[in-house]
Amino acid sequence: MLKNYRITISYDGTRYDGWQKQKNTENTIQGKLEVLLSRMAGIEISVHGSGRTDAGVHALGQTANFRMDTELSEEELFRAMNEYLPDDIAVLDLRIASERFHSRLSAAGKVYRYRLYVGKGKPVFERKYVWQLSEIPDIDRIREAAGYFIGQHDFKAFCKNHRMKKSTVRCIRRIDVEQSPDGKEIDLTFEGNGFLQNMVRILTGTLVECGLGFREPEQMEEILESGERNRAGRMAPAKGLILIEVKY
Amino acid sequence: MLKNYRITISYDGTRYDGWQKQKNTENTIQGKLEVLLSRMAGIEISVHGSGRTDAGVHALGQTANFRMDTELSEEELFRAMNEYLPDDIAVLDLRIASERFHSRLSAAGKVYRYRLYVGKGKPVFERKYVWQLSEIPDIDRIREAAGYFIGQHDFKAFCKNHRMKKSTVRCIRRIDVEQSPDGKEIDLTFEGNGFLQNMVRILTGTLVECGLGFREPEQMEEILESGERNRAGRMAPAKGLILIEVKY
């Protein structure tokens, strides 16, 4: 009997071409999962993620679901997946979900974290997971600018330019800006009902420009209103971003 | 004028053949430093480390010194080294030391940490820096066994077998065995006046065998007395080991 499995996955995105399966590469997280499960099941299995992550972006708690008919128990399937997946992709949790559960459509919100490294010297052990800034941004200016993004807004100016008619309105519930106890890192934590393509990275890039004094926090309002991508800041590198949690 | 520079270095040892320069490979930490400094100085520069680290072993605070005649200030030399070194080798500190300072001969002690991962699932982001155990060792048994190593002993049984006449007596000041707050990691921190080749890894392997019940803590005494490498346990993998600090 087909069961609907829900999995929570962690991955180091460094060497992958993002979450989503693509025609020209097998090197995606979704691709790795589908190849493994299809081989185990003997028929093609589709894995549905809560959303895409860009090439090089990491996940601590991505959620996905797939339908499969297997005699393995949940514990056995969990172990088998972890054993055969590469060591930079881990299944943290696996359980049978209700028939209606869909990782994308059922999602109520997401939490992303962007890690900025501002210490002296090079972050040898964190180098693949942070964006190193050569100057230290003003944390109060970042917080002030971030305030303009809280609530429901049209984030068209902060997403990859697509000529499509889908809504670009999203609600951001919080953006926490916190410096680590040793002062070497500034972490931006975004929680919202959903995020557009590249949105967290463009928001981060723009906030960093505010923090470094290249922009004024008040400008955020007019950028939002303009809906023009070229009014917003540069996109922050993929490697500093991590999908922390998908909420249901 | 030749000055004696003292540097503190951090490196991710994953892709290197250890600290020490070798004839058949340029891919060592010492090699990378010497090639860079020699190019900057226009003559050959020798870099002296506090000691070797094995291939795959990491460092948070390795210490080295070298003599060089340069017009660069310490700050400029520090920046140049960090700019031209690969992103998995960082200079954390650079200063002019007294003429007599020698990173190996002046060293008074060293601190190493060995990280054991005992969580469920795979440590995706820490996979290159921990040794994952499939069973959870008994931390009290590890502590009890570690107690036998404290103080001055002949550690001949716990080092790579060399037919040499150098002393294998060392003094271990402490071995702290601590579980991380989330319970996923057990860290062994060794401090001593010096460590023989592979010694921390063989001690760790033997302690883990005690923790898993394959050996009794009391056996440590007779292994020490025997001086026979084959009486001690298996050597733990290089990747879980990190040189934390060299004391002067």
What sections of chain A are H helices per DSSP?
Answer: 29-41, 74-84, 139-147, 199-211, 219-226
Structure-block tokens of residue A234? 């540069």
Q: A190 Cβ partners below 8 Å, 6+ apart? A: A111, A112, A113, A114, A172, A174, A175, A200, A203
pLDDT at residue B22, as a whole number: 84
Kindly report, residue by residue over A199-239, the tens digit of the pLDDT. 999 999 999 999 999 999 999 999 999 999 999 999 999 99
- In the block, which residue shows the tokens 């490196």? B11
Examine the pLDDT at A1 and tell me if it is beyond 90: no
Report in angstroms the alpha-carbon separations of A213 from A143, A209, B120.
13, 6, 45
Kindly report, residue by residue over B36-51, the tens digit of the pLDDT. 999 999 999 999 999 9
Structure-block tokens of residue B124? 């995706």
Shortest Cα–Cα distance, B87 to chain A (Å): 6
pLDDT at residue B212, as a whole number: 97
User: How many CB atoms are closer than 10 A to CB A195?
Assistant: 22
CA distance B57 to B74: 28
Which of A78, A92, A124 is the best mutation test for B, with the most CBs of B within 10 A?
Answer: A124
Kindly report, residue by residue over B60-117, the tens digit of the pLDDT. 999 999 999 999 999 999 999 999 999 999 999 999 999 999 999 999 999 999 999 9
Cβ distance B215 to B123 under 8 Å?
no
- CB contact under 8 Å between B10 and A121, yes or no, is yes
User: How many CB atoms are closer than 10 A to CB A213?
Assistant: 11
Residues in chain A within 8 Å Cβ distance of B8: none
Residue among B89, B121, B129 minimizing CB distance to A90: B121
Examine the pLDDT at A3 and tell me if it is beyond 70: yes
Average pLDDT of chain B, as a whole number: 95
Report in angstroms the alpha-carbon separations of A22 from A16, B132, B214, B218.
11, 33, 49, 58
User: CB of B89 within 8 Å of any CB in chain A?
Assistant: yes
Cβ distance B8 to B91 under 8 Å?
yes
High-pLDDT (> 90) share of chain B, %: 94
Task: Look at A163 and A79; give whichever has higher pLDDT.
Answer: A79
User: CB of B122 within 8 Å of any CB in chain A?
Assistant: yes
A-chain residue closest to B78, CA distance: A121
H or E element: which one contains A183? none
Q: Which residues pair with B95 in a beta bridge?
A: B6
pLDDT at residue A164, as a whole number: 67
Residue among B11, B88, B122 minimizing CB distance to A82: B122
pLDDT at residue B24, as a whole number: 82
A-chain residue closest to B93, CA distance: A121
Q: Report the catalytic residues of A.
A: 54
pTM (2 d.p.): 0.90
- CB contact under 8 Å between B90 and A125, yes or no, is no
Residue among B90, B123, B125 minimizing CB distance to A122: B90
B-chain residue closest to A88, CA distance: B124
Structure-block tokens of residue B5? 């520079």
**Chain A to chain B Cβ contacts (< 8 Å):** 49
CA distance B30 to B66: 11
CA distance A158 to A124: 31
Cβ distance B207 to B146 under 8 Å?
yes
Which of B77, B124, B134, B244 is the best mutation test for A, with the most CBs of A within 10 A?
Answer: B124
User: CB of A44 within 8 Å of any CB in chain B?
Assistant: no
Residues in chain B within 8 Å Cβ distance of A12: 124-125, 127
User: CB of B12 within 8 Å of any CB in chain A?
Assistant: yes
